[in-house]
Amino acid sequence: MSAVEDAKLPKEFPHIFTEVVFQLIPEVNYNDLVYLSQLLKINKREEIYWPLTDALRKIQWTKLASMEALAIEKETVEQVEDGVIAFWPVGLEQYAKAVSDFVIYTKSALDSLAVFLTELLSIPATKGQRDFKHKNFREQIIQRDSAIGQHVKSLEQWFITLQGVRDKWIHRITARFFATVGPTEIGLLPIPKLVTEDSKLQDAPLKKEHYWTTPEFIEIHFDKLTSFFGTIVTRCIELELAELGSPPSRPKAEPPIVAFPIRATENMRIKAIRLRF
């Protein structure tokens, strides 16, 4: 209970990004989110930002999936000894699911960002047209906002590649991986750079030309996702400030405050809150 008693909580909840454990995603600037939320409250524009809050929830799911994949690989490596093969069937399936989830949630977060930018920039797109895989959608963003558009242009190939991997793993094939035995430059559980519908890639040399290590794969995609999200938040702060004649000063940095909805089934007097991270 001391964690609650010692914390100096603000009189009002400081941001609109609920159901997010910010300790999981230090890559996202919490203070920017608090300041943006303050501007939105003044401008009475919180509602159009709900897709942005959805995107952040999905970004944390992406991080959780990456943490699971890395943890499984680490635990498997710890079991390897000279002349001993670490065979962990459930772990390998959990790893495949975690890597699949990582890709799926990354694309899902981008979908929420696409919906948000459609509203923010008044882009005439609906339903499936609101997708970074479409050249026309990307070009409309580039035309309407140079700051966000420049970042979108730099990520064009990534959007297309990620879409292809996600579509194959969801609609056509399952994500299949293998464990290496002996030293390699691609780690114990390599991830193929090409998604094929057969096992031919497994016959390719175990080199970085053909495979990512698990940390490399995660870093490449997660860095792009969080950097893009950060660019959008920074630009939104600029746009909201432009609506104000006398903008408020930035609030001082505070520890992240997390909120999740609770529905009580009876009247009660709350004696304590047990925090667990």
96 to 38, 162, 264: CA distances (angstroms): 41, 17, 38
- State the pLDDT confidence band at 1, using cuts at 50, 70 and 90: very low
Q: Does residue 102 sit within a domain?
A: yes
Q: Using alpha carbons, select from 222, 165, 211 the residue that is nearest to residue 188.
A: 211
Residue 11 gets the label, from left (phi > 0), alpha (psi -120 to 50) or beta, of alpha
223 found inside a domain: yes
Q: Are 230 and 28 in contact (CB under 8 A)?
A: yes
With a cut of 80, say whether residue 139 has pLDDT above it: yes
Give tens-digit pLDDT for 151-205: 999 999 999 999 988 988 888 788 788 888 888 899 999 998 865 545 565 677 8
15 located within any domain: no
- Print the domain residue range for 35: 29-241
Q: Please write the tens of the pLDDT for every residue from 49-100.
A: 999 999 999 999 999 999 999 999 999 988 887 788 878 899 999 999 999 9
Question: Of 264 and 237, which is predicted with more confidence?
Answer: 237
Number of domains in the chain: 1
Q: Where are the strands (E) in the chain, listed by range?
A: 191-192, 211-212
pLDDT band at 5 (very low <50, low <70, confident <90, very high): very low
Predicted confidence band of residue 9 (pLDDT cuts 50, 70, 90): low
The answer as to whether 253 is a domain residue is no
Beta bridge mates, 84: 81
Classify residue 220: in a domain, yes or no: yes
The reply to whether 44 falls in a domain is yes
pLDDT > 90? residue 10: no
